[in-house]
Amino acid sequence: MFTLEIIKAIVLGIVEGLTEWLPVSSTGHMILVDEFMSLNVSKAFMDMFLVVIQLGAILAVVTLNFDRLNPFSKRKTYLKKRQTISLWGKVIVGCIPAAVIGLAKKNVYSVATTREVPNKIPPKIVEPERDVPGTKDNT
């Protein structure tokens, strides 16, 4: 039984490794493969497994393309360094809308997943305490 789980994990790793290089969602493929042959593990472990296996694939991509992505490489000409810095600037500018939308939708997402409405304003500010006759403080 344990070897079957290892084989399933290897298949998931192969799917992740192949789809990381393609212009398709590697996460989506991992979820689909897990639906067909799910690992016999807890949800928390599966979530951690998906993150770790994707981290390995991302690190492989960064390692193989490090010289292209590093604007401080000694092998680059001045023009190539400027182009790489320009690329990083475009990546940062491209991430700004996603960050703004993500921060704006953060509360909406937490409500949708936890079904609890976040209370950002402390109750004392929203509704001040009133003196109620007959309480300990107001006798």
Mean pLDDT by groups of 10 residues along the chain of 139 residues: 84 86 79 83 85 86 87 91 94 90 69 53 50 55
| pTM of the full structure | 0.53
Q: Which residues of 20-36 are buried (b: 16+ CB within 10 A; e: fewer)?
A: beeeeebeebbeebbee
How far apart CA 32 and CA 23 sit, in angstroms, is: 17
Q: Rounded to whole angstroms, what are the CA distances from 109 to 25, 101, 106, 116?
A: 21, 11, 5, 10
The separation between CA 126 and the C-alpha centre of its own chain, rounded to angstroms, equals: 34
Model pLDDT, residue 93 = 94
Model pLDDT, residue 78 = 93
- 117 φ/ψ angles, rounded to the nearest 5 degrees: -80, 125
